[in-house]
Amino acid sequence: MISKDINQAAQILTSGGIIGFPTETVYGLAGDIYSEKAIADIYRIKQRPRFNPLIVHLKSGADLDTVATDILQKARELAAAFWPGPLTMVLKKQAHIPDWISSGKSTVAVRVPNHPVALSLLQQIDFPLAAPSANPFGSISPTTAAHVEDYFGDQIPMVLDGGACQKGIESTIIGFEGNEPIVYRLGSVSIEEIEAVCGPIEVRNHNEAAPEAPGMLAKHYSPSTKLILSDDLKLSLETHYGKRIGVLSFTDVFDAPSIVKLEILSAKADLAEAASHLYAAMHRLDHAEIDLIIAEKLPDTGLGKSINDRLKRAATQ
């Protein structure tokens, strides 16, 4: 059920249920972090590996000390710069934070979402929310309430409708080793924006065996239709001549007999607009009657790095 009723959403969460939850990045599958049943339901419905930790969503940066401890000055500077917003930080957790949130780790991933519906809901409840993306594990992330409803139907009692997600790709995740920040997942805050706050930063956004944070597995964000990532769309179209092809283009219009469906991420070559359109375009292509999706690699700068990361993971076989 898709609904705009925030009060009903709060009641479901308070009673230990889970809901679809809008944020500025993607929709999440949300539950009370202190409810073992709710968190178990999230993992079960998503079919998510239990070794993959969840992100805790707070109503305000002022609540950070209630879930994390030994917070570095650089972490506080990043929170001041980007919260509310699409930056998640992995910090040492307070003793009362359950292991079922952190996959048994001594750290917790935490952020403050920048979405009016999400913040209004968080103000109505007296606990933080765990909210991984509201999709079956490894599938394309949802950026509308309808995407969530299509995935889960009556498996969850409600999807709280907050409209289409503004950012369109997940939060950037930063952890700390010693006093130095490390990017564990590229996302909606660019490396350049982060470095403007804390200086040069290492990127380490892949750990298949024991991920320090969500989104570090090699295969992720994937459509059911095979997807390949191309540096040269014209050549890729020639290589796969005879197949029914869907094309995901950054800005250019392509015309070829084999193209059944064309999605352009940004006619004005705007990387932020491309990011906001990415998953919705992938959903449409995945529902088209095609044999193959060919996605164009974007300029590898700013948010282009994050978009290319998602496309590379979507193309991993």
| CA distances in angstroms from 75 to 11, 70, 91, 175, 180, listed in the order given | 33, 10, 9, 9, 10
Q: How many CB atoms lie within 10 A of CB 274?
A: 25
Q: Is 233 helix (H, G, I), strand (E, B) or coil?
A: helix
| Sheet strands (E) in 13-84 | 19-21, 28-32, 55-57
pLDDT tens digit string along 131-158? Answer: 999 999 989 999 999 999 999 999 999 9
Q: Residues in the chain with pLDDT < 50?
A: none
Peptide bond into 84 cis (omega under 30): yes
Find out whether 299 and 205 touch, Cβ atoms under 8 Å: no
pLDDT tens digit string along 6-50? Answer: 999 999 999 999 999 999 999 999 999 999 999 999 999 999 988
pLDDT at 178: 84
Q: How many CB atoms lie within 10 A of CB 257?
A: 9
Written as one letter, the residue type at 129 is L
- pTM for the whole thing? 0.92
Domains in the chain, CATH or no CATH each:
2-165 (3.90.870.10), 227-315 (3.40.50.11030)
pLDDT at 132: 95
